[in-house]
Structure 1
């Protein structure tokens, strides 16, 4: 006789399971966080690794070469951005002085048009400068903390990536142990679809970030913004946050221009450039490169960022968007969990759209060269 549990009891069990999950993520952060990053890198490197094995390279050598390639590229990017950040922080004193003069002009404007007493000017300016200094101190402290954590990840993540790629067949057989023979065909197809979409999403996201970084940097260089490449790359990374990321990415160079040159026109031009790039990214670049299979609505993305930041800090915010995208793919693969995938989906992408030639061309480029082949790359 099957015992039916009350709905409130099931709801209580779900809440307890979520609480235990969050507690476990926080408690075992030193292990689970590098493992999560390693899983993402493994999915990204898996097509390259398989291509190398088809060329006749032994699996250990193919894995080592792919890992070294990623480390070299990331090291160059981090080195360049770090040099830009160090140069930028060296100008904080000058920026603070210029902001003080700018705020004084703003106070004069407020007094002229809104009759704010001049006696409050110094206090307002001091409060504003103090807030800016507090933000700068917090930003630098967070940067140092993230850098320290990044050094830890650099040493552990490659080891985890090597193990996941080397033992991938063994791990796959381990997962198959939990399925019966009658359902292994459906399970294999579901896993193939998940692997295909996740790999397409991660590789497509990297392409989008690179393209947006180039467009942002080119626009800032044309305007003559100092540290244009740093601001362009930083804003491109923030594009993974729908709508909110572009606001943060555009505000930083705009405020920097106002603080260093006082040129309001150039600041407005910078904002317009970022808005135009965001328009291209949202309507052309991302739909053609990534597609709509794993598009996340802004509300779900923001909630994922907040939860990731609360659990794992800055690293949790970085990994939260790819993780929520992977969860959506998993939810869409199984009928009982498809309502959750529908909840995470972007409303605009739920409408049927006819793919164009450019979209098909991008699919062939991203997924046709050994990437995302559903049937051949299962084993």
Structure 2
């Protein structure tokens, strides 16, 4: 017997359900975040595992282990490089501290000459700065210990989750079919395939973009003579996995380091200009050409997803926000009652009528006509011969 509820009651239940879902996501964050990363890595590694099983005839457990070892080796090399660079960077702290002191004196002298602001006692400034640094160091140490513990747990749990998801993928597929009628299983398989393609396109494209952006960043910083240019270039490119915000953080750190190391504002401005130029290339040429329209989410939806993901799961939620909302869009497009939400999330260029479609068709007709004319001339020449 179907129970009909008033619209206001249905909407109230939906809102309460969303609130309950967000609360559960925050409550079980320690389990859901590694599981979400594991699902992404499992979908990314699935083609490699499948090729190892079918083409190389490697048993499934060994194929999964080889794929995991490859991923862990690449990530380990990146972590090792960043750690070495950070340790080397700490040796510059004394020089940076002296340069910061000289920069403070120059700023105070400029303010006194231009605006008559009496300079503060430098010793007081240094004492306050040291006190602030001690507080920051204490907080940073606590956060580092917490993050290290979480990272160790993540590196332990995520590979286990990935192995289980890949090893039991046939069983999980049969489990999913238990909830779907036989006449609808083909559409479910197509939806799952679309989700897998979206995730694979996003992650693989993002990796290629990170490599290209790191090369461009490093080349620009090396041209300016910035110390640790390769480290800052790679670090900023890795932060591009956090949309819109990551590139700002990645540009701010080398700019402040350059300002503190050289004491010249123009050097920091040039560093920021390099990152702005690379960001322009990445946003308008690199990412559209590599990733294409596989993850066709409009910027407004991406920003909202970024904020919501950061509020629920922190930095991990910001990283996961774009691929998760892309998965939701695929699911919305596959289910008829939810298609309006898929339309809302879609990029406007994908749903708006093409303004230049007639011109493009006209050029295509001319091109095809020229091709037909050339083929006719060739046929006439062959007949004459």
TM-score, normalised with respect to structure 1: 0.83
SS of residue matched to 2:314: helix
SS of residue matched to 1:235: helix
Mark the structure with the bigger radius of gyration.
Answer: 2
Distance 1:243 1:179 in 2: 39
In structure 2, the partner of 1:279 is 280
Q: Tell me, yes or no, if structure 1 residue 34 matches structure 2 residue 34.
A: yes
Distance 1:321 1:130 in 2: 39
Q: Which moved more, 1:43-52 or 1:234-243?
A: 234-243
Give the 5 Å matches for 1:56-205: 56-119=57-120, 138-139=139-140, 141-205=142-206
Residues 100 and 129 of structure 1 are in contact (CA less than 8 Å); yes or no, is this contact kept in structure 2? Answer: no
SS of residue matched to 1:172: helix
Report the count of equivalent residues. 356
Deviations for 1:8-40, whole angstroms, at most 9, x for unmatched residues?
A: 222222222222222222322332222111111
Residues 251 and 271 of structure 2 are in contact (CA less than 8 Å); yes or no, is this contact kept in structure 1? Answer: yes
Q: Tell me, yes or no, if structure 1 residue 327 matches structure 2 residue 310.
A: no
Distance 1:231 1:268 in 2: 15
Residues 241 and 319 of structure 2 are in contact (CA less than 8 Å); yes or no, is this contact kept in structure 1? Answer: no
Gaps of 5+ in 2: 361-385
In structure 1, the partner of 2:16 is 16
Name the CA shift for 1:233/1:141 in 2 (closer, same or farther; >3 Å). Answer: farther
SS of residue matched to 1:226: coil
Residues 37 and 157 of structure 1 are in contact (CA less than 8 Å); yes or no, is this contact kept in structure 2? Answer: yes
Residues 102 and 262 of structure 1 are in contact (CA less than 8 Å); yes or no, is this contact kept in structure 2? Answer: yes
Distance 1:145 1:318 in 2: 19
Deviations for 1:160-180, whole angstroms, at most 9, x for unmatched residues?
A: 111100111111111111111
Residues 99 and 259 of structure 1 are in contact (CA less than 8 Å); yes or no, is this contact kept in structure 2? Answer: yes
In structure 1, the partner of 2:53 is 53
Residues 96 and 129 of structure 1 are in contact (CA less than 8 Å); yes or no, is this contact kept in structure 2? Answer: no
TM-score, normalised with respect to structure 2: 0.82
Give the 5 Å matches for 1:286-297: 286-297=287-298
In structure 2, the partner of 1:371 is none
Deviation of 1:217 (Å): 1.6
Distance 1:5 1:289 in 2: 48
In structure 2, the partner of 1:43 is 43
Distance 2:127 2:348 in 1: 45
Give the 5 Å matches for 1:194-233: 194-233=195-234
Residues 52 and 63 of structure 2 are in contact (CA less than 8 Å); yes or no, is this contact kept in structure 1? Answer: yes
Deviations for 1:328-364, whole angstroms, at most 9, x for unmatched residues?
A: 332233332233333334445655679x9xxxxxxxx
Deviations for 1:263-317, whole angstroms, at most 9, x for unmatched residues?
A: 3332222112111111111111111111123144444334333433333333333
Q: Which moved more, 1:297-306 or 1:125-134?
A: 125-134
Residues 294 and 329 of structure 1 are in contact (CA less than 8 Å); yes or no, is this contact kept in structure 2? Answer: no
SS of residue matched to 1:225: coil
Name the CA shift for 1:161/1:114 in 2 (closer, same or farther; >3 Å). Answer: same
Name the CA shift for 1:65/1:164 in 2 (closer, same or farther; >3 Å). Answer: same
Residues 35 and 158 of structure 2 are in contact (CA less than 8 Å); yes or no, is this contact kept in structure 1? Answer: yes
Name the CA shift for 1:309/1:141 in 2 (closer, same or farther; >3 Å). Answer: farther
Name the CA shift for 1:138/1:278 in 2 (closer, same or farther; >3 Å). Answer: farther
Distance 2:202 2:341 in 1: 19
RMSD (CA atoms) = 2.9
Name the CA shift for 1:296/1:96 in 2 (closer, same or farther; >3 Å). Answer: farther
In structure 2, the partner of 1:343 is 344
Deviations for 1:148-196, whole angstroms, at most 9, x for unmatched residues?
A: 2111111111111111001111111111111112222222222222222
Deviation of 1:146 (Å): 2.3
Residues 258 and 267 of structure 1 are in contact (CA less than 8 Å); yes or no, is this contact kept in structure 2? Answer: yes
Name the CA shift for 1:351/1:221 in 2 (closer, same or farther; >3 Å). Answer: farther
Name the CA shift for 1:186/1:89 in 2 (closer, same or farther; >3 Å). Answer: same
Distance 2:47 2:149 in 1: 31
Q: Which moved more, 1:110-119 or 1:255-264?
A: 110-119
Name the CA shift for 1:173/1:154 in 2 (closer, same or farther; >3 Å). Answer: same
Q: Tell me, yes or no, if structure 1 residue 258 matches structure 2 residue 259.
A: yes
In structure 2, the partner of 1:245 is 246
